[in-house]
Amino acid sequence: MKFINYLESITGVGVYPLISLMIFFLFFIAVGVYLIKGRKEYFDTLSQLPLNNSETLTQNLNEYEK
């Protein structure tokens, strides 16, 4: 028996793709809002994470948490 036959036997299976699409869409919108509302200086500091030493990094991140 094919997998699609199992799905057809589940009552209300059509709602699951809609729910997963809504979750994806809401997550995508939330990330977009976070990026648009975020401060550029904070994102610049985060982009330098692999390049900075730990002391400078800690000082920079503490400035933006205030």
Is the four-CA dihedral 38, 40, 45, 50 of positive or negative sign? positive
The pLDDT of residue 66 is: 57
Residues 52 and 54: their CA atoms lie apart, in Å, by 6
Tens of pLDDT, residue by residue over 20-59, are 999 999 999 999 999 999 888 888 877 877 776 666 666 6
In contact, 43 and 66? CB cutoff 8 Å = no
pTM recorded for the entire structure: 0.56
The pLDDT of residue 48 is: 76
The pLDDT of residue 59 is: 67
Is the four-CA dihedral 55, 50, 47, 27 of positive or negative sign? negative
CB atoms within 10 A of CB 46: 13
> What average pLDDT does this structure show over 9-15?
78
Domain boundaries, the chain: 3-65
The pLDDT of residue 56 is: 63
